[in-house]
Amino acid sequence: MELKKKFDPIAILGGQEMANFKFSRAFIESTDMTDGFIFNGKIRRIIKDNKANIDVNVESSTWQKL
């Protein structure tokens, strides 16, 4: 289970300027199935006024069967 997995945009980017992400945030489990609330989006490194910033854009979020 990924409940303790931290969402870390800097680690996802690594040395890239842009990266896609898929991140699970909530889970419902039964004996027969598991559903997760999944976020999909893009992370982008932006340099503005000589300062590095990280832009996180969530493009979709939905429940999915896992």
Q: Mind listing the pLDDT tens digit of every residue in the chain (66 residues)?
A: 566 788 999 999 999 999 999 998 899 999 999 999 999 999 999 988 999 899 999 999 999 998
Distances (CA, A) of 21 to 25, 36, 42, 54: 13, 15, 6, 14
Q: Which amino acid belongs to residue 6?
A: K
Q: Is residue 1 part of a domain?
A: no
Q: Where in the sequence is the domain holding 42, given as residue range(s)?
A: 9-65
* Total domain count, the chain: 1
Any domain includes 16: yes
Ordered strands of the 34-48 beta sheet: 18-29, 34-48, 51-65
Amino acid 52: pLDDT: 87
The answer as to whether 57 is a domain residue is: yes
Classified as helix, coil or strand, 61 is strand
Evaluate whether residue 52 is within a structural domain: yes
How far apart are the C-alpha atoms of 22 and 38, rounded to whole Å? 7
Residue 49 forms part of a structural domain = yes
- Three-class DSSP category at 10: helix
The predicted model scores a pTM of 0.78
